[in-house]
Each structure stands twice: as structure tokens, then as C-alpha cells.
């Protein structure tokens, strides 16, 4: 039953008609629990609030799977506006983005031009950029583009997903670049040909790559709400004397908020992923897929409107 719900929400997350409708009608159905707001000003206010509580942030101007150049350029413009807002307000925030929204499906030339514009603005404002990892179809291209950009810029990192069979090899291949990587379990629906179907295997592989990347001496973001993974990391860093400035925990805005503050109190670096913008629908559906219990929030949200 849970798997059916998960598949249902992942299916909905890709529906273009619903995505358009959601943009038109604004944040609904309890989505504001996971999305900071629709404007950069609302996002800035939220970041200030989180920073005051000791939480670092990565901000994400929502949007994905853009298929025309004008929209891709607009997405990049909006990310630059966010970067400049971080600089102007001296926020403790990085920026995360999806390259399908920067023109990755249009051409390499478009995506590279937009990425360089973003990374130049980020450099000027001292902001670090993380390239989110999307579905398997985009994985190799994302890694190839990341490698090229990493040769030109030191303020860029990407994400590696533990559910993919290829992941251990990717961690090995990327090691020579000493990359700052965010490690996650993986949020998309993938076939058993490319990804572990069993949760236990994903969790085991996740632990394995956390250990590999940390012991390789690289900066590691452990982006998970899973207490077992958090505890595993705490023990690992203690056992191998890994300093607190070589890693950080990351969680999504609106999920396990108390635990986020708890980790700050314990002296760990904790970064919250704060999405904002009008294109909230796909992101929101993936959060529901992760935890069907969140559907209660949707129902409450629907009743309120
Ligand atoms: P898991 O799903 O096993 O959950 C463990 C426990 O955490 C649950 O039992 C529950 O208690 C709690 N929990 C998890 N999700 C919850 C929710 N939605 N609501 C309430 N409680 C919840 N993925 C990707 O493919 N590409 C990417 O670039 C990113 N980027 C990214 C950034 C950050 C900062 C985070 C935290 C996550 C991502 N992800 C991602 C998503 C990631 O791949 C994964 O889908 C989610 O983090 C859920 O997996 P967990 O590791 O949290 O564990």
C-alpha cells in the first residue's frame, strides 16, 4: 500500500498540466510547510530567521524540466537574484539548483552559459552552488558538466544518490577533484536495472559512500532525516577523528525541525534546504511520496482553502 502511494505521488510529480495549474493558483494544500514562499523577499525573511537559530541554509529557486531557452535563461536570472540577495543581506546561505531548469535538456551550450553566469555571480557574492542530482536519465550528463565546471570554479559541488548501483564508482572517479559532495538516498522512481529496489540495500550503500568520501578527506554533506544515518555518521567521525569542519548535516525545510535545532545544540553544522518560488508542485509531490503520512497535511490544507 505504502509503495503504491509512493508511486502515485511520484507519478503526479511529473504531470505537466498539474504543474502549470499549481503555478497559477499559488501555494496550496499545505505546501507552505515545505516551501518558504513564492518570492525572494519571503525566502530572505525565512533565511534570516533560520540563521538566527544557528542553522545554515541552502536556498533553491524551484523549477525543473524546462524545455525552452527563454525559460531556462529566466530560471538562471532568478537564481542570480537569489545569489545577490544572499550577498546583500549577508546571509549564511548557499544556493542549490537543478540543471534541467538551466537548459540541460536543450543543449550543452545553453546550460553551460547559464551555469557560468550563475557561478560568476556566486563567486562575486562568495556563495557556494550545489547542483542537485535529478533522475537517472540525467545522471551522467550532470556528472560530466559538474567535472567541467569544477575545473573552472572552486565554488561548485554536486549530489550523489546512494540508491544507484553506479554510485560507489562515481565517488571513486570524482575523488581526484576533491569535491564537496552532498550524499543522499535518492528521491526519484528508478528501475531495478539501475537502482537498489530494497531500502536496506540503499541504507547500506549510503553508509558505505559516507565512509568512503569522508575517509578520502573530502567535505561531505550528509543530507538525511534518518536517525540511523545521523548516528552512524556521528560514530564514524568520532572513530576516525574527522573534524567537525569536514562535514555537515542537511535536512529539508519543514522536516524534523526540532532535530535540526538539536544537532546545532550538539555542536554540529546543520544546513536547511529552503525552496521557494511558484514552481512548487513537483517538489511538494516528491516530499509526499517520501512519507505518505504527510498526506494528512494536504488534506488539512485542502479543508482550509
Ligand atoms: P528516509 O526516507 O529513509 O526517512 C527516514 C526518516 O526520516 C523517516 O522514517 C521519517 O521519520 C523521516 N522523514 C523522511 N522524509 C520525511 C518527510 N518527507 N516528512 C517527514 N519525515 C520524513 N534527492 C535527490 O535525488 N537529489 C537531490 O539533489 C537531493 N537533495 C536533497 C537535499 C537535502 C538537503 C535533503 C535532506 C534531501 C535531498 N534529496 C535529494 C532527497 C533524498 O534523496 C531523500 O529522498 C530524502 O532525504 C528522504 O530520505 P532520508 O534519507 O531522509 O531517509
Domain boundaries defined on the chain: 1-34+280-305, 51-270
What DSSP letter does each residue of 145-186 carry, written as one string?
HHHHHHHH-SSEEEEEETTBTTHHHHHHHHGGG---EEEE--
- Of 221, 291, 297, which is best to mutate to test ligand 1, by the most ligand atoms within 8 angstroms of its C-beta? 291
150 lines ligand 1 (CB under 6 A): no
What's the start-to-end Cα distance of the chain, in Å? 28
Burial class for 27, CB neighbours closer than 10 Å (0-12, 13-18, 19+): buried
Q: Which candidate, 46, 57, 82, places its Cα nearest to that of 272?
A: 57
pLDDT tens track of the chain, all 305 residues? 667 767 766 676 666 666 666 666 655 566 777 888 889 999 999 999 999 999 999 999 987 668 899 999 999 999 999 999 999 999 999 999 999 999 999 999 999 999 999 999 999 999 999 999 999 999 999 999 999 999 999 999 999 999 999 999 999 999 999 999 999 999 888 999 999 999 999 999 999 999 999 999 999 999 999 999 999 999 999 999 999 999 999 999 988 999 999 999 999 999 999 999 887 777 777 777 766 666 655 555 444 43
CATH 3.20.20.220 applies to domain 51-270: yes
Residues forming the annotated binding site?
98, 133, 161, 185-187, 199, 224-225, 286-287
Cβ–Cβ under 8 Å, residues 51 and 98: no
Cell representation of residue 165 = 548501483
- Rounded to two decimals, the pTM is 0.90
Cβ–Cβ under 8 Å, residues 277 and 61: yes
Amino acid at each position: 500500500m505504502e509503495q503504491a502511494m509512493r508511486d502515485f505521488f511520484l507519478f503526479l510529480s511529473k504531470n505537466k498540466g498539474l504543474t502549470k495549474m499549481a503555478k497559477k493558483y499559488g501555494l496550496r494544500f499545505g505546501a507552505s510547510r515545505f516551501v518558504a514562499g513564492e518570492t525572494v523577499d519571503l525566502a530572505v525573511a525565512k533565511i534570516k530567521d533560520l540563521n538566527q537559530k544557528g542553522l545554515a541554509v541552502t536556498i533553491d529557486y524551484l523549477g525543473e524540466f524546462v524545455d525552452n531557452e527563454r525559460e531556462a535563461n529566466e530560471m538562471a536570472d532568478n537564481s542570480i537574484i537569489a545569489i545577490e540577495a544572499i550577498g546583500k543581506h549577508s546571509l549564511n546561505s548557499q544556493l542549490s539548483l537543478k540543471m534541467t531548469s538551466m537548459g540541460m535538456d536543450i543543449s550543452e551550450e545553453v546550460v553551460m552559459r547559464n551555469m557560468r553566469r550563475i557561478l560568476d555571480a556566486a563567486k562575486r557574492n562568495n556563495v557556494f552552488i550545489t547542483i542537485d542530482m535529478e533522475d537517472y536519465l540525467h545522471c551522467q550528463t550532470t556528472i560530466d558538466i559538474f567535472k567541467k565546471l569544477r575545473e573552472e570554479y572552486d565554488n561548485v559541488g554536486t549530489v550523489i544518490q546512494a540508491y544507484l548501483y553506479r554510485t560507489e564508482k562515481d565517488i571513486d572517479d570524482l575523488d581526484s577533484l576533491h569535491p564537496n559532495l552532498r550524499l543522499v538516498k535518492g528521491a526519484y522512481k528508478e528501475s531495478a536495472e539501475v537502482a537498489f529496489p530494497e531500502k536496506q540495500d540503499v541504507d547500506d550503500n549510503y553508509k558505505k559512500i559516507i565512509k568512503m568520501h569522508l575517509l578520502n578527506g573530502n567535505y561531505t554533506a550528509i543530507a538525511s532525516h534518518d536517525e540511523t544515518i545521523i548516528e552512524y555518521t556521528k560514530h564514524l567521525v568520532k572513530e576516525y577523528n574527522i573534524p567537525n569542519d569536514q562535514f555537515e548535516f542537511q535536512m529539508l525545510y519543514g522536516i524534523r525541525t526540532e532535530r535540526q535545532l538539536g544537532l546545532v545544540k550538539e555542536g554540529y553544522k546543520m544546513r536547511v534546504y529552503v525552496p521557494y518560488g511558484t514552481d512548487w508542485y513537483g517538489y511538494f509531490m516528491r516530499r509526499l511520496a517520501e512519507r505518505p503520512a504527510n498526506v494528512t497535511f494536504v488534506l488539512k490544507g485542502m479543508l482550509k482553502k
